[in-house]
Amino acid sequence: MRKLSVGSESLETLQAFQEMRRAERKALGEPPFSRHVTRMWPKRADEILESGGSMYWIIKGVMQARQQILEFEEVRHEDGIRRCGIVLAPELIPVAARQMRPFQGWRYFEQRDVPPDLTDISGDIDPAMPPEMLAELRELGLV
């Protein structure tokens, strides 16, 4: 699945936000896991879990990282409406940067389109390179 990380300025701000939310949950005596709550329940939830699927985060128009999806759980807030809680592994794994157009909600991501993890790519890429620049170089076929 792919999802825009609304409000994140960088991979570091997404990570800091998730760490803060895990700490809040721990302080309340709840399990300290990362979870993204959404209105829609994925129709392909079983397929995603069976394949070890991940949530691919898009920050500022660039796909930058993924998190493994551990489970889907029902969440109900004060309004009583049923929502889907996407429980995520705590590790954010950087992926090969890729420009993405904006969209609402989340979208399925087919296995053939999945970008490689940065750990799986040649060591020729400087990890300090801005993700936007890396995505543009990748689109031009230069890296």
Spatial distance between the Cα atoms of 83 and 76, rounded to a whole number of angstroms: 6
Model pLDDT, residue 126: 62
> pLDDT-based confidence at 141, cuts 50/70/90?
low
pTM of this structure? 0.80
3-state secondary structure of 132: helix
Structure confidence by residue, pLDDT tens digits, 79-132: 989 999 999 999 999 998 888 888 888 889 888 888 989 875 545 566 566 767
In sequence order, the 6+-apart residues with CB closer than 8 A to the CB of 65 are 11, 14, 56, 57, 59, 92, 93, 94, 95
Model pLDDT, residue 45: 95
Residue type present at position 94: P
Residue type present at position 2: R
Spatial distance between the Cα atoms of 132 and 98, rounded to a whole number of angstroms: 8
- Tell me the helix, strand and coil percentages in the chain, rounded to 5: 25, 30, 40
Structure confidence by residue, pLDDT tens digits, 39-92: 889 999 999 999 999 999 999 999 999 999 999 999 998 898 999 999 999 999
Spatial distance between the Cα atoms of 91 and 80, rounded to a whole number of angstroms: 31
Give strand pairing partners of 85.
Answer: 37, 73
In sequence order, the 6+-apart residues with CB closer than 8 A to the CB of 120 are none
